[in-house]
Amino acid sequence: MVLSTKADRGQNGFQVIEAAPSPWVTKVEHFFILPFLPSKTNEDQQHEISAHMVPEDTAEYRASGIGYIMILRYANTPVGPYDEIMFIPGAFNSPLLSSKSNQNSTITPLASISWIQAHPLIHDARIAQIYVSSEASLRNGRVQFGIPKELADFEWSKTSSRFSTTHSIAVKDRISGILFAQFEIRTEIKKMK
C-alpha cells in the first residue's frame, strides 16, 4: 500500500499547505529503529554513509557512536498521516562545543543540558538524510523545524501469520525514482515455556 504519492500535491502540482507550528502531538502506527555500529576501518560502509551526507557533514563525521535508521508510519499528525525514514549515521563533532563557534554565541550548548548528557547514544547525533511521504510534512518540517526533509514514495506491505508479522518497505526518491532503501522486517511472538 502506498500512503502518499505525487497525487497528494493537488491539482496541477499545487496544493495549499497550512502551517502546523509545534508542538506536534502524533500517533504512530509503526516505529522501527535499526541500529548499527559505524566503523572507521570499514571502507565500504564509510563510502555508503558518505553518499548520504552533504560535504559539510562529511567533514564533521566521526564514524563512531551508534548509527540508526528509523522508519515511522504516522497514523495521525497535525499535517495528516505520513511515512518517514531517517538516516542518522552516528556521532559528529558538535559545532556547539567547538571553542571557535562558541566565542560569540549566546546559545547555550545542547551538551550542557542534563537530559542529553544522560543519553550518550544520541549525544552529537545528526540526521544526515530524511524522507517523508507528504508535501505537508516536508514543508512544515523545513519551515517550522529547519529539517531538510525530502519527498519519497513509500511502498509498505504487511503479511501476518499466527505468530509473526513481516513488513516489506521500499522507499524511492519522489523526483528521481531512485530506490533509497528497501527493508523486510519480521517481528515474532515467542511462546513462553
Q: Residues 147, 141: contact at Cβ < 8 Å?
A: yes
Q: Can you tell me the distance from the alpha carbon of 55 to that of 86, in angstroms, rounded to the nearest whole number? A: 18
Is residue 184 domain-resident?
A: no
Range of the domain at 120: 6-93+111-153
Is residue 187 domain-resident?
A: no
23 has a pLDDT exceeding 70 = yes
Q: How many helices (H) and strands (E) does the chain have?
A: 5, 7
Q: What does the pLDDT average to over 125-140?
A: 89
5 has a pLDDT exceeding 60 = no
Is residue 13 domain-resident?
A: yes
Of 179 and 99, the structure prediction assigns the larger pLDDT to 179
Of 53-67, 107-121, 128-142, the poorest mean pLDDT is in 107-121
101 has a pLDDT exceeding 80 = no
pTM of the model: 0.73
φ, ψ at 151 (rounded to 5°): -90, 140
User: Rounded to an integer, what is the distance from CA 63 to the centroid of its chain?
Assistant: 18
Question: pLDDT band at 96, cuts 50/70/90?
Answer: low
38 has a pLDDT exceeding 90 = no
In the numeric block, the cell 497550512 is attached to 18
Number of domains in the chain: 1
Strand residue runs (E) in 37-100: 67-76, 82-88
Question: pLDDT band at 102, cuts 50/70/90?
Answer: very low
Is residue 98 domain-resident?
A: no
pLDDT for res 47: 67
Is residue 128 domain-resident?
A: yes
